[in-house]
Structures are given as C-alpha cells and as structure tokens.
Chains A and B, each alone.
Chain A
Amino acid sequence: MVNIAPQGSFNRVTVGAKWLLLCLLIIPVVAGVVGVFLPAMGYFPAIGANQFDLSVFAALLDVADIHTMIWLSLFTGVAATVTAALFAFVLLSVFYRSRMLSRLQIVLSPFLVLPHAGAAIALVFLLSPSGFFARLFTFDSSAIASANEGVFLFDSYGISIILALVLKEIPFILLMAISVMSQPLIQEKINGYFKAGTALGYSPIAIFFKLVLPIVFPQIRLPLLAVLVFAVSNVEIPLILGPNDPSTLAVAILHWFNHIDLSMRLQASSAAVVQVGIAVFAVFAMLAVEKGFTFYGKKWLQRGKRQATDKAISATAYLLLVVYVVLVVSAVYTLIAYSFAKQWTFPNIIPADLTMLHWNTVFDAVLTPLSNTLLLGVSVSFSALVLVLLTLESEPLNAAKTRASLLLSTALFLPLLVPGVAFLYGLVWFQQLILKDAVWFHVYVAHMVYVIPYVYLSLAVAYRKFDNRYEMVALSLGTSPMKVFFLVKIPLLIGPILVAFALGLAISFSQYLPTLLTTGGAISTVTTEAVALAAGSSARLSAAYVVIQAVMPLCGFGLAWWLSNVLFKPSTNITSTNKSSTGKSVRSV
C-alpha cells in the first residue's frame, strides 16, 4: 500500500527548515534553564563553588522581604491576567457580532504594538503626582500636596503594575480570541450556535458566554498562560512602575545578577529557579480558576436564564472603551507635549513654550540605538519569517495532525512559558563560555527565541485559511512545488506575510531583557535606552523615546499594509477595447 505522496528536494529543504526552527526554539531555553539551575545548586566554578547542595536556597530564604517579593510577583501576575481575560471577554461579548469590532481593534492596537516599557513610561507621565491627570484635576497649585497622596503610583500592593499589565494584555487576549473566532470552521460553528441560541430566546451577550466562549476558550488557553507567565515574571513594568522596597522577585533577580559581587549570582540563580516555580504555581492557579468558572458555568447553563446581566456587561464594555480612548488620547498628547515643552509648570495643562531642543538632542543620541534596533529587527524578523514560511510549507497537503506537529506547537510556546528572567541568564552564561565576543550573534539568537513564536502564530492562521486547492491546481499544471511556493503561495498570502513580518519587527523592537542581558549593555536599542532614561533625570528625553518606540512599530505595520496593496497586483487598466470585449463576452456567455 502506498499512502504518502512522493516528495522532492524542495520538501527536504522545508523539513530541514522545520528542524532548524525547532532547534532555535528549544536549545536556548533548555541551555538557559540548565545554566541557571547549576549555580542555584551551588555549582559556579567562576567563584570556586564546585559542590552541589541546597545551601544557596537556604540563604535565599533568609533574604529580607523575600516572601513579600514572591507574593508581589504572584499576586500582580495572576490578578492582572484574570482581570485582563475577563475584560477582554466582556468586550468581545458586547461587540462580537457588530461592526464595532474592527474599530475596537483600531483603538486597542496602539497598546498592542507599544513595547511594555513604553506603555509603562507613558503611564508614569499620566499618573505621577505631577502627571497629566493630576494637572487635569488640580485647579489651584495649593492642592499639590493632596494630589500627591491621591496617586497610587509605585504603591506597595502593586496596583499600578496590575493596571499597566491589564491595559497591555487586554488587546493581546482580544486579538488572539478574534483570530480563533475567524477560523473558517469555528466561525461556521459560532454562526450556527448564534442562530440556535437566538431561536431559543437567548440574548447575544448570553449566547457569547454560554455557547461561544466554551468553544473559543480551549483554543486560547495556551496564549493566555503565556500572558500569565509573562505577567508574573516581566521586568520592565515593575521596574518602571512598581514598588522598590521590596520589588517584585523578577526585578530583584535583575539587580542581583548585575551586582558587582559575583557571589550574588548564586542567590540570583536560586531566585530564578524560584521564579520558574512561581510561574508553574501561577499556571496551576489559573487552571484552578478556569475549573471554578467551568463548574459554576455548567450550573448557570442549566438554569437557562436568557440574559447575562446584559446591561451591566454592556456598561462595563463601553466604560472600558472610554478608558482606552481617554488613555490613548491623553498619553499621545502628554508625550508629544512633553517632548516639545520648554517649560511646563504644574498644574498647567498646556506647556508655556515649545522648543526643538529635546528632539535635537534625541536625534543626535538616538542614531546608534535606532540603527541597532532596525538592523536587529529586520534581520531577526526576516529570518524568522523565512524559517516559519518553510516550516509551514513542510506540512503535506491534506495531512492529519501528526506527532511532529504536536512537538512543534509545544516548542512554540516553550520560550513564552519559561520566564525570560530565568533562562536568559543561563543562556548568557553558556554564550560567554562558547563564543565570548559574538555579541550580535547572541542577541540575534535571544530575539529569535521570542520573535519566531509570534511570527508563526500570526502566519499559521492565514495558512490554515488558505485554499489548498490553489496549490493542487498549480501542481496539476506541471509546476514544481518550489515554483508553486514562490509564484503562487507567497503572492496570494502577501498580506498576512507582510503583517507577520511587521509583527516580528515590533516584537524585536520591544525586547528589553534579552537585549540587555545577551549584550551586557554593549548594544543599545531604543527600548533599552528608553528604560535607562526613565530611571534618569530628563522626562523630556524619556517622552521623546516613548514617541519613537510607538512610531516605529506603527511604521512597520503601515508599510506592510501599503506594500500588500501594491505588490503582486495585476494591472487593472481596462482600456476601451477591453470594455467592448467585455460587452461581447457577456453576451456570448
């Protein structure tokens, strides 16, 4: 019996690319975890520690406030993720059948593409004691003191961290859900359920929570857990917005690893292992929350109420929308105004005088970081795109899910499910052992680890939607698989391909920790500079950097949109002779 269609040399190339992609995802993460686990167990030859024991962990538990740090990481991460998911579902439930959905995506997309660091800095500008909102609500300057008390920035409970994470993660969760819901098979099912639910008298919002969400949720569980792991372990948001004494564990790990005293590395490594533990615990906590919702959800389903407190849910959704619009508008205004302000005394809402001085300074200073960012972003995103395209192409036509594809989908989430602050240090340790001076190579690998999954997830949706019959027709015309790939598939998928490339750029632009650690500060990017400036003195330069951070990914997506409208479009100039022939053929058919 024959079952597998014969494969040619192009297929060998694509399968090779798939294994290369798997290696790029798995090896750095596994090496990184090993590299951080060894010092945590007391093995760190550089300072003469050669014995395996648990004393490092014991020492860690004696560090002042360690329990508060762990609690802060766990609490902010879980609370932010659960809140963001609930809000995203509330928004979806109100808008999933309406044309507002596309407008909603437009309002939320600035938050999606703005790097976490940029979003955190923007929030500081809005919420700090002399920030924009304080200006808005302070009508005489004697109220400054009371304004100070009312602002919760850098609070010891981590509320400001939660706020920033929620604002940043809602758009991501929403877009993941939308992309699942627009898969042809699922879309068909949802439409059917909607008709059946409406016929039974359920309101659209009730249908979303009772019929649609149960189909969609399993498909976004993994991305949601990736969001959660990021939330409990990210560095830039608590570094910029969070409390200092004590900070979250991830921020503490950053300080300990960078401590002049090398022996602090042991403590940092054991803390990184604890950080992995926190992530695992958070994942189980999240799954427990999901179980709870499912349990009560089933009882709720059986009760058969036709509405789901519709009014409260719509009100929440519109309120959220207003919050986003206000935040986007005031952030854009504040950042731009700050970057041009000569003098802007509190509590004035408009700066007294404008100047190009800050921008001139920025233009001089930003040249190197900007060219570094672009060089890194373009090379990383382009090679990730090539690898991902070839990997997707290695799947045979009409194939059922195989074990290899399961390995791939697990590997894709590996870098997103292992906290970066844990494995990146281990990775750096290995990199310094092997190729000490190949800084660009190291930072390239670290970026690839984060860019590949997003490029893959973004393109896989389009590939799944692609009508395979185009490929079958092209092959049946005698065109080789390689030519079909270049001449048919790429042109027909050019839109999604360019969007995936722009997404890869945006992800690379936003990397803070991977860039900082693998280069040891030798290569500065716009994002590392922005974070450094946020801790520094000049609010104006900081504002200018956030503006650049926001504009860069938008340029990428704008370029993608424009190119996809220009590339591979046949000339559509219908001349008069063509028109007459149209008339003739319409008659004849």
Chain B
Amino acid sequence: MAQIRTVDLTKTFPDAAGGVTALDALTLTVDDGEFFALLGPSGCGKTTLLRTLAGLETPTGGAVHIGDADVTHTPPGKRGVAMVFQDYALFPHMTVTENIAYPLRVRGASKSAQREAVLAAASELGLTGTETTVGLLDRRPGALSGGQQQRVALARATAANPTVFLFDEPLSNLDARLRLEARTFLKRLQRELATTTVFVTHDQAEALALADRIAVMQSGRIRQLGTPREVYRRPANTFVASFIGSTPMNLLEGTVRDGRVLVADSEIARPDGTAGLVADGTQVVLGARPEYFRVSPAPLGGAFQGTVAVVENLGSSLLLTLDVAGTPVQAVVGEEDEPEPGATLWALPRQDRTLLYVDGELVG
C-alpha cells in the first residue's frame, strides 16, 4: 500500500535540436489505493511518466517517491512496482503457469510457494477451469485470445504482490466489444485489490470510466488534475475542453456585451457563476457541450438559429451540425427528433452547463 509522489520531475531526451522535454517539472501525488489515469494525446509525456515511475527511464531532474522511500535511483526490480504492457509481454515459450510464477521464480521462491501464488492469482483472474470451462494454465500464450492474454498478464502482475500497479494502454489491444467487458473487469479488480494503480491512455472515455482521478497532460505538463466529474464538467482550459467528451465541446469565439455573450451573430446568456468576472468587450471563448442543448423548430430566446447541415446517427441520439451564420455548432437531440437537412432550428445551450474561457483559461 503506497502513495506515489513526484517532485519537479523532469525528463529530457537528447536529439539533434538540443533535446525534447518529455516531462517538464512535474509535481503530482497519487493517493494510496487510487485508480489514477494519465490522459493525453500521443507525445504528451504520459508514457514517459509511467516508465519513469517504473524505473525504466531515469529522470533528468526531480524525484520519485513511492510510500516513504525516495526511489528516484532505485532499479525497477526493487521498487515493488508491477507493470502491464500494452502488448502484455507474456513470455511465449512459457506456459500460463510458468508466466504467472515468473516473479516468484526470479526471487527464488520455493516451488510450493510458486504453486500457491499461481493458484491464488489465477483464480482471482478467472483462469482456472470450472465445471463448464477449461482451465488455461497449461496453455502457451500463443494459444490464448487477446482478453485471456491480458488476464494472464494481470495475474502475473498480481502474483508479484506489488505495492503499485502500472498499466500502459491496458485496453487498446482489445477489439471494441471486448474492451468494454475488460474495462468493467479491470475496475472491479482494482477495487478488490485496492492497490494504488496508475494507467496511461489516450482514450478519454477509458479514463473517465476507470479512473478515480485523471491528470490530463500536454507537452510534458499537467493541464488539469481532477475527478472524472470535474474534468468533464469544468475543463480548466480549452485544451482539456476539446480533448474530453466523446462528441467534442463547441468552442465558439465571441465577445462579452451587456452581460451576454455575442457569438456567431447570436446573443447567448452568460454562463452561471461568471457574472461580474469579465468586462464588456473582452474576447472570450464560449464552451457548450452538444449534449446540453435544447433544440426546437420554434424560435427560442437567447438561442443559436441555424440550418441543419449534417445529421449523424449515434444510435440512441442524433448529432446535428448546425450552420449558424457560417459557424458550425453541434447539438445532440433524441432519436425521435430527426430533422431534415436544411431545416431551420433554434438551439439553446443550458446556462448552468456553458463555460467561459478567457485566453484559453476557464473563468469562474
């Protein structure tokens, strides 16, 4: 059981131009037992951070603490950390049993201790046979499906009895249907083990679904740190706002006038909680998620008026792209309200869910 702390963690990779900064003086605390997500686009430094926590990369500056110990210069095998890689990294020439027993074998544990740990980890991960299913313990990794391989990798990490789990893109090698199943499984497993877990992902839906807290990263820095609810509801800046959400947030440039926001030839009510914080005439960006619009064929006060340009079917709902005086505005409506392309509609954003950004940062 351990907390993870990084202090001014910096990692620079040398290159022809003098160095690429992958981590920029990063200070972060992951609480004991927390399920923590590092989220960001590729090249944001999230994988470097994970590998630095693992000890596979040596930081250029700063420190890493796990529990009470400073492990900045501790080799990976002595940190009490287990990592599951994106490709699971199972040893192909060993059986499932040998793979799971490997951490104990390396430490020189007795055969009986190895057997015990394998059985415990395998039954935890559902790898032993039942009356209706065949056990996988004697198979080679090559004979397993992707989901089974992942569970073997998790079992092996569990058998190491670590104080911290690190997962690198844990779901990205699975096909779409299996991914949801594995997500639920992973979250339940982490709850049961209550081991501090850090995982890396580029998929915001995965981070929102799994994590207790999320660090959204860009260019080696943390742009926002918070619970999934906080990060989704109140993105701290336009980068996070554009990154989080399955349908991207509308970010519309405008100006403040008389307590309203003038954007795309429409006068929209100022978001809740921003009264008196922004002076008249200030250039702002209005953030409005497509999910929080009221769309009507009849005129609504303080709404965007536009014509339907594109209708995308999302299954239970429809994503409309409206042309509002030349600016595209997206809104989600129920499946029963399918409009014809070209129809004129009024879209009113929910005032309690709109956000105001000045110079890219959230106001209020």
Q: A and B, one complex?
A: no
Q: List the interface of chain A (C-beta within 8 A of B).
A: none
**B residues at A contact (CB < 8 Å):** none
